[in-house]
Every structure is written in C-alpha cells, then in structure tokens.
Amino acid sequence: MVFNPNKKGAEFLNKKYKELATSEPVKHEQKRKKQRGENVSKESQFDRIDSWMDVLETNMNHTDNSKFPERLKKIYHKRYVVKPEDIPENYFKNQRRLAKERGYGNVEISNEARAQVIETIITDQESTLDNWVDYFLSRDSNSFPMWLKYWSFRSMLELSIFDKSEGKFGERRKDTVAPFIELNKEALAMVVDYMIKKYGKEYFELQEKIIEINKKLKKIDRYDRQLKRVQSGGKIKGISSVNDLKKPAFYDEKEQLKKEKNSLLKEQKKLLKIENVSGEDEETFQGIEDFGKLYAYALKEIDSEKRDLQVTEGKWIKYDQGSDHRSLSLNLSKALGLVGVPQLIIWHDIS
C-alpha cells in the first residue's frame, strides 16, 4: 500500500469527527469543485476532507492581507467567547462567598463592578483565544500539517482550566468564564511531533509489518482450534480427519513471529518517544488521540523537568494609583497559581 500523508491525516479527522465529511463547509467546497467542472462523484470521505484542508491552508496563507487575521478573530470572538448574558449568577455568588471567607465580610457587587468583571472575563477570553489564532497564522507553525492545526485548534476550543492535581483539563461550555487554555509552544510542539510520527511513513511501515504478522498468527491459531476440535471428535464442514486440515507453512514459526511483533511494537514506542511511559499515562496513548490528554501529558512532562529548579530571584513592581487593575491582577494570579481563574477585584479605601 502506498503511503499518503495527507490521506492519513484525513482518515484521522474522519474517525475523530464523524460528521465532518458531511458538514456544510466540506459540502460547500464540493459544490465549488463541481462548478469548476471537476468530477467529485467518486471522491471518498477522505478526499472530501483533504480538499477542504487545502482550502483552509490557502486561506490561512493569506496573512499578507493585514485585515484577514482581525476578521478571523472577530468571527471567532462572536462564535466562541462567552456572552455577557451567559455568565452564570453563581459566579458572582461564589465571588461573594470567597470574599467573606477571606475576611472581607458581606460584599455587595455593584452594577459597575459587575460590568467591570464581565468586561475583564470577555477581554481575557478574547486575548487568550487570539494567542492561538496568531500562532497558527504565523510562520512558526508553518511546519504543522493543516489537519493537525485543525484538530489542535478545534480541540483547544473545548477545553477549560487545567487541574494540576488531576492532570487534566475541564470541559468548556457556553457559560465558562475561564480564559482559553494557555498556549505553551513547547507542549504543543511535543503533541504535534507525536502526531506527525504516529501518522507518518515510518510508523505506517512498522504497522504494515505488524498487520502481516497478526494475519499469520491468526492462521496459526485457527489451525490449532480446528486441530483440537477434530482430535476430540468434533466435526468441521469439509474436514473428516486431521489429514484434511491445511497446516500453515509458517506454523512452526509462532514463537519467532511473536518475538518479531514485540520487537516492532517496541520500535513504534521508541519512534514516538513513549517507550518509558507506564501506569495511568499509558491510557493517554490508547485509542483515537485526544488532544486534551496529550497536551496535559506534555505540560506535566515539561513541569516535571523544571520542578527541581529553585527560583531565587525576583523584582519589585510598582503600580501607581489609578493604573489599570488588570496588570496587577494577572501578576498576582501568576504568583498565586491562579492563572486561568477570573477573580473579582474588590477595592477598599484604606486611606
């Protein structure tokens, strides 16, 4: 079988998103191709998805048009950023509860303060979403295949706050107030590298060899089952004795075939750099790839590499009276490990 990297990517997307091949954007591209006189009647689902990926890539390459990124961001802001009316009342109730627990007493949130908080939530979501858009439109991500960009971005839109203790992301809903997840380029590169190798030619060729070995092992197991059945007096259609059984030519190679298979499986793990993965982490690399799980795993790996580093340096930052509160809020959140959790800022007159 001839290896086609674009087809492998389209196959992955088709498995991951069952509705994609029949979605409106993909069908729209099919209509455009028909209008150009192209024959699309024999195109597979993979072909249709691959054609649409080409369209996306062409559009994303129009970054020389300075208006395109801003137009795209506006579309995404409207589609994915939380609406003021969707911000749950429970959010403000929780803020009042937290204020009371921290010794501020019963705090009433004025309409002005509420409006300020809503503005901050929306601004934070827009800016964190823009980080992903800017990166995927930049030259830094040119080496990423389009199908991987689509999968990463679509998956990112479904994720909320990263829980370090659980090692996983929460689920984003239309009333989620948290910013979009942090763009960690190193973690993203790890995920993309894994996927490129998993759906690349070298892995594919190893998998083809494993498939051939599995076919042989199945024939050997089938022969063994038939042999035992005949020897115990059982009947098989068209077979009256052991002599009628067709023994595979490679029957005596069963143990050798198993060793070859295990060796190939180890090669695959080494290729993907997961040969030392064990325990709960193994589930991350099973089944159809989940971006959230892979990204969380990459973040955990990066964090573990930096865990032993001790920070002995710091700096004083002066915030003038009347300056923008968001800069102070962000730096405090980073220091306290609260990045990604919108906080209601309560100002008190201490003069």
- 23 band by pLDDT with thresholds 50, 70 and 90: very high
* pLDDT tens figures, 57-97: 988 876 566 788 999 999 999 999 999 999 999 988 888 88
One-character DSSP codes across 65-116: STHHHHHHHHHHHHHHSPPGGGS-HHHHHHHHHHHHHTT--S----HHHHHH
Name the DSSP letter for residue 236.
B
User: What pTM was computed for the model?
Assistant: 0.81
Residue 69 tokens, joined: 């990124």
Determine the pLDDT at residue 207: 96
Structure token pair of residue 92: 């403000």
What is the phi/psi pair of residue 237, to 5°? Answer: -55, 125
pLDDT at 108: 80
